[in-house]
Amino acid sequence: MNGNPTSGIQAGGILSAFAEAILANADNLAQARSAVVVALGEAAMIDAAAVVAGFNGITRIADATGIPLEPAKAEETQSWRGALGIDAFDNLKS
């Protein structure tokens, strides 16, 4: 992934910016939304918003119940989890 999680994915940067704007309810949300519509169409924008919103909910379920990652998934993702700093999130829990 060359350190860029959006590389190689069509309109990855635009979609990523849309996700960030939704989560932050940012001032540039309308602009980010329009960029997705221009690049991929309205149906894609709606489906992208649905994925972001759904994961905005489900991450709270995972974190608020203490559900662990499945062992097979943890092993499969071990190499890049560390590289992306995801494992460090675990040290912040209190």
Partner 1 sequence: MTTRPELPRSELLAAQATAWAWLGTPGIWWTGAERTAIVAETRHAAFCAHCRTRKHAAIPAAVLGTHDTTSTLPAPALEAIHRIRTDSGRLGETWYRRLIGPDLDQADLTEGHYVELVAIVAITVAIDSFRAGIGQAPLDLPLSMPGLPTRITPPGTKPGLAWMPVLFPDDWTPPTPDLYRRLPGPPERGRGHIHHALSLVPEAMIAWWDLFEPMYLRSSEMRDFTQEFRAISHAQIEMLAARTAALNQCIY
Q: Which residues bind partner 1 (CB under 8 A)?
A: 5-6, 8-12, 15-16, 18-20, 22-23, 25, 29-30, 33, 40-70, 84, 86-87, 89-90, 92-94
User: Residue 18: exposed, middle, or buried by beta-carbon count in 10 A (0-12, 13-18, 19+)?
Assistant: buried
3-state secondary structure of 9: coil
Q: Which two tokens stand for residue 65?
A: 């119940």
Pick 30 or 38: Cβ nearer partner 1: 30
Pick 47 or 76: Cβ nearer partner 1: 47
Smallest distance, partner 1 to C-beta of residue 68, A: 6
Smallest distance, partner 1 to C-beta of residue 76, A: 13
Please report where in the chains the tokens 């559900």 appear, as a residue: 67
**Is residue 37 a contact partner of residue 45, using CB atoms and an 8 Å limit?**
yes
Smallest distance, partner 1 to C-beta of residue 75, A: 14
